[in-house]
Structure 1
């Protein structure tokens, strides 16, 4: 009888230790180099999200000259950022596999239709992360998007602008300088209007 009580008591203590360890493990920060998991399904009232690595750079700062680039458009033409000097520019980094980007694109098209004469949208596709250029072309055609889309096949422009998370948008003034803080995550239509009006 004493052995049975002792064994039962041992099991209770052992079970208590297991439960205690499980609870304290959940409260600890993830180990160095271990990925932390987040629920990005989000609050339905939010407009979307973007995921940024923990030690990602902060991106280019307000007051910095926007780095020039020359990339091919989906139509095979060449577009250089310097060609747009003297105009306001919304430089958007995106990919077809990015759900927040897909959420944002129809708003960008609506904005482009209304304000395309006042500000230029340039959508830089992270082509080096896409499965094919054909997929990008099909996505743009099916969506009826008419703003310029350029292909960053080597991801050099994405790297130059430190667009680690997608979508990321920079707001460039007529002087070729970044005039507003970058936006990481999808923009609302109202936010685009606000940023356009903040540029000079």
Structure 2
């Protein structure tokens, strides 16, 4: 009996150590240092983690391609009612500010969709013309720790996260929050 207890304690210790290591690995993947010494992470004041995703037409887009512009980085899905509600305002905001140093990037949580075919149908139905990226393997969702939709990161022209907004935004919110970024 005493021997079984020792074995159980040792096994629990090993499991706990493995759990601790996996947490450390996840934290290291989210926060590290960039070339300029800035902390790369998803907190306010961090350099936004770069990523590369494809659009529906196969064009590859990187977040870092937008350095020098203010970026509204929106995580969404076609089945999400609040996402659907904010899309018309996001399109209007994009139309008004796309030539004024502001970018809208919509990252579709493709893995959560019933089928990829729903995405272009949605874009056509809502008249969406801003870049829509497909997160087919939840890479960006995991890196940015997206837990609910929509989630929007506001990134300044230097690539620094200024704010994270969970829930839908309207055009006035977008205008107020994005235009005040540096």
Q: TM-score, normalised on structure 1?
A: 0.69
Q: Highest Rg: 1 or 2?
A: 1
Alignment partner of 1:185 is 2:170: no
Which of 76, 81, 85 pairs up with 1:103?
Answer: 85
- The match for 1:67 is 49
Contact residue 42 and residue 49 of structure 2 kept, 8 A: no
Alignment of 1:135-150 (within 5 A): 135-150=118-133
- The match for 1:50 is none
- The match for 1:130 is 113
- The match for 2:72 is 90
Q: Map Cα deviations across residues 143-199 of structure 1 (whole Å, 9 max, x no partner).
A: 1100000000001101111111000000001111102x2110000111000112221
Q: Offset at 1:60?
A: 2.4
Q: Map Cα deviations across residues 108-133 of structure 1 (whole Å, 9 max, x no partner).
A: 00111111122100000000111111
Alignment of 1:70-81 (within 5 A): 70-81=52-63
Q: Offset at 1:66?
A: 0.4
Determine helix, strand or coil for the equivalent of 1:121. strand
Contact residue 77 and residue 110 of structure 2 kept, 8 A: yes
Q: Paired residues, what number?
A: 141
Which of 111, 134, 142 pairs up with 1:159?
Answer: 142
Unaligned residue ranges in structure 1 (runs of 5+): 1-58
Instruction: Supply the distance in 2 between the matched residues of 1:199 and 1:121 (Cα, whole angstroms).
Output: 14
> What RMSD in Å do the two structures reach over aligned CA positions?
1.1
Q: Offset at 1:105?
A: 0.3
Unaligned residue ranges in structure 2 (runs of 5+): 1-40
